Amino acid sequence: MGEPAEGPIGSTTSPTPGREACPAQAGIAPTEFRNSQLKRTMSITYLSLGSNLGDREKNINAAIEQLRSLGTLKAVSSHYETAPQGGLSRSWYINCVARLDTTLSPQELLDNIHAIEQNLGRVRAERFGPRTIDIDILMYDDEILNEPDLTIPHPRLHERAFVMIPLLEIAPSLTHPILKRNLFELLTLLPPQSVQKIN
């Protein structure tokens, strides 16, 4: 994957009042940020990454490198080429799933993910539209969370083969905390979808 990206990510805009600034917004070096969080409990998260604009492989790999500043990247799945779903985009995606162990809260993790997406040129113009990079939080430990801007587990996790297949590759023993079924069971319930492993 190469050496981790150096320095802070994203913009330097002010954080939302009452919410701890993410490293990208606060201008904190990743190592300093991690050291300030040592007293927190480490959580296991699974993230989905996708790109269908520009150099898709380069976008995915750049996002993976920047995720390293948010915790410990424990695993990254193979890359898969998948057909677009919904929206007007006709460009195929490259998708993968990563496990990130982090001390960030779910909301802090989301803020940092948005900073990475912005840093890599993501423009939120159309739902399901083309994008340079898309990063979703699939699971955060076994937490169940329903907030206006964040739902965990991801509400469509179990409907998407392009998420389920790479997730099953790196975490075969996972069980959906709401549906109470393992990944293999959920995958067998899906209709055929075009997902092709490319590496």
Residue 5 falls inside a structural domain:
no
What's the pLDDT score for residue 83? 87
Q: What is the number of domains present in the chain?
A: 1
Residue 151's CB is within 10 A of a number of other CB atoms, namely 14
What is the spatial distance between Cα 105 and Cα 35, in angstroms, rounded to a whole number? 15
Mean per-residue pLDDT pooled into runs of 10, the chain (199 residues)? 41 44 49 49 96 93 96 97 72 95 96 93 66 94 94 94 95 95 92 87
Residue 23 falls inside a structural domain:
no
- Report the CATH number that the domain containing residue 83 is assigned in CATH: 3.30.70.560
CB 46 within 8 A of CB 167: yes
Chain centroid to CA 109: 9
Residue 134 falls inside a structural domain:
yes
What is the spatial distance between Cα 69 and Cα 100, in angstroms, rounded to a whole number? 10
Which active-site residues does the annotation give?
Answer: 122, 131, 134, 136
What's the pLDDT score for residue 109? 97
User: What's the predicted TM-score (pTM) here?
Assistant: 0.77
What's the pLDDT score for residue 127? 63
3-class DSSP state of 93? strand
Peptide bond into 4 cis (omega under 30): no
Domain that holds residue 113: 42-197
Residue 6 falls inside a structural domain:
no
H or E element: which one contains 48? Answer: strand 43-51
What's the pLDDT score for residue 10? 38
What's the pLDDT score for residue 14? 43
Residue 19 falls inside a structural domain:
no
Which of 83, 67, 84, 69 lies closest to 35, judged by CA? 69
Residue 20 falls inside a structural domain:
no
Residue 161 falls inside a structural domain:
yes
Residue 15 falls inside a structural domain:
no
CA-based radius of gyration for the chain: 16
Which amino acid, 155?
P
What's the pLDDT score for residue 91? 85
What is the spatial distance between Cα 40 and Cα 81, in angstroms, rounded to a whole number? 37
